[in-house]
Structure 1
């Protein structure tokens, strides 16, 4: 996972330099930003934050390790070759799916609707709408003054809050009602700043809408059964 990410990233930067591309927008991840056990609860996560590589290795979090080293490799290669590099660091991306298959981000939501998850984790997660991520890429490419990294996030929620929002929109599905860890205190959402990206003009889609559109897309793609309409609405239509 790590070696292909680094080599592939360097190859893209080299190709961009040879083709005299005026700017490269690199899609990194929140995984390159937040994995730091020494970050205090009051620290605001922003573009200056980096995941601790030694911590990632010791916990065998190769996804976050790979994202961090690939981003650093892109930055180093771009500086060496004079390529104008701008980086987007999106959090977990939700919203309508283009593909018919399920990816890791969607599984995060789907498991709460199918009954496969009997509990929800005592942890937090940041979310952003897929359209906002796409727009962020366009904005940093087209804005001459754009530079460095851009954290792309709308909200940070506890998993219990996610389940509660989904259950209000779609009460017909078998949502878990208990946390997997009721001994430790409830995990608190970390603080973050998306101000640097907001300064370019976008307005983020509210997380509730992200969750709603994700489920509707799962229904449309056939990954979730569509519940029958209430009897009252059937009578009205008849």
Structure 2
């Protein structure tokens, strides 16, 4: 869930390649979208479900017989803009999904896709006081975004991801569900655009050395690695690139808005921003991870 997203559909493909039997739960964001048109590859190990994240029973149906769940949230088509109300939507969906997992006896592990925005935003970030850099500390998966701070600066993506992940963790611990989370950087997917809500506050993330991105293939490997590795636990910050110089920033800007003019070469800032975010925990886990089909 949600197999109709870029990450979700790619995960389905990768899991099938590794020999898994997959239940693909589609939310049908687009009108007239046929599940069979999205994932119709003729693979007998693929079963497709229409799953409404607000309909608890439809989640239960999709989970029947499954040993694990990869959960990722995409906003409903009629609520595609992140605002102060999106957190209520994400929290409700996260609660439904974790409760359904708790009631599905075959579920061994849940991989919950969250965001780096649930880690990096707090009062020490430059958006609050651009002149106060001395109080900045390094971030890892032990850090949590400050909800009050994010509401103040209308960072609604961070609010939603943080509250939804905290809801999932609370329920997982209460109901003894084995869960790990992937706190992903900005996904460099084919449908990435300047309107992506992750990008709110991008300039401040850049200046503070926490503007991280992740390639789709690396993100897929990370999800499967934490699922398959019995030693995985807790949260994992997931990224494989830091935007910390003007050249990187310009390349990303061109990707987001291909028609935008490039700044003159001589005008580029030559600084290298110090990295203040760590993904060592994930990198250590993935050292021995092998891509490709599983050996049965």
TM-score after normalising by structure 2 = 0.53
CA distance in structure 2 between the aligned counterparts of 1:87 and 1:166, rounded to whole angstroms: 26
**Residue 148 of structure 1 corresponds to which residue in structure 2?**
234
Cα distance change on mapping 1:139 and 1:177 into 2, 3 Å: same
Cα distance change on mapping 1:197 and 1:163 into 2, 3 Å: closer
Structure 1's unaligned 5+ residue stretches are 110-119, 204-238
Aligned CA-pair RMSD: 3.5
Quote the offset at 1:57 in angstroms.
0.8
**Residue 9 of structure 2 corresponds to which residue in structure 1?**
none
Equivalenced residues, count: 181
Contact kept in structure 2, 1:46 and 1:194, CA below 8 Å: yes
Greater Cα offset, 44-53 or 144-153: 44-53
Structure with the largest fraction of helix: 1
Tell me, what secondary structure is at the counterpart of 1:107?
A: coil
- CA offsets per residue over residues 2-56 of structure 1, 9 Å max, x none? 1110010010001111112111000000110101122656522111111111100
**Residue 89 of structure 1 corresponds to which residue in structure 2?**
183
Quote the offset at 1:176 in angstroms.
2.5
**Residue 140 of structure 2 corresponds to which residue in structure 1?**
46
CA distance in structure 1 between the aligned counterparts of 2:121 and 2:232, rounded to whole angstroms: 25
* Equivalence map 1:59-138=2 (5 Å): 59-95=153-189, 97=190, 102=191, 105-107=192-194, 124=206, 125-138=211-224
Residue 88 of structure 2 is aligned to residue 3 of structure 1: yes
Higher relative contact order (Cα pairs below 8 Å, separated by 6+ residues): 1
Quote the offset at 1:164 in angstroms.
4.9
Tell me, what secondary structure is at the counterpart of 2:285?
A: coil
Higher alpha-carbon Rg: 1
Greater Cα offset, 194-203 or 38-47: 38-47
Quote the offset at 1:127 in angstroms.
1.1
TM-score after normalising by structure 1 = 0.65
**Residue 97 of structure 2 corresponds to which residue in structure 1?**
12
Residue 29 of structure 2 is aligned to residue 29 of structure 1: no
Cα distance change on mapping 1:160 and 1:84 into 2, 3 Å: same
Tell me, what secondary structure is at the counterpart of 1:65?
A: helix
**Residue 5 of structure 2 corresponds to which residue in structure 1?**
none
CA distance in structure 1 between the aligned counterparts of 2:152 and 2:205, rounded to whole angstroms: 20
Structure 2's unaligned 5+ residue stretches are 1-85, 126-133, 197-201, 289-296
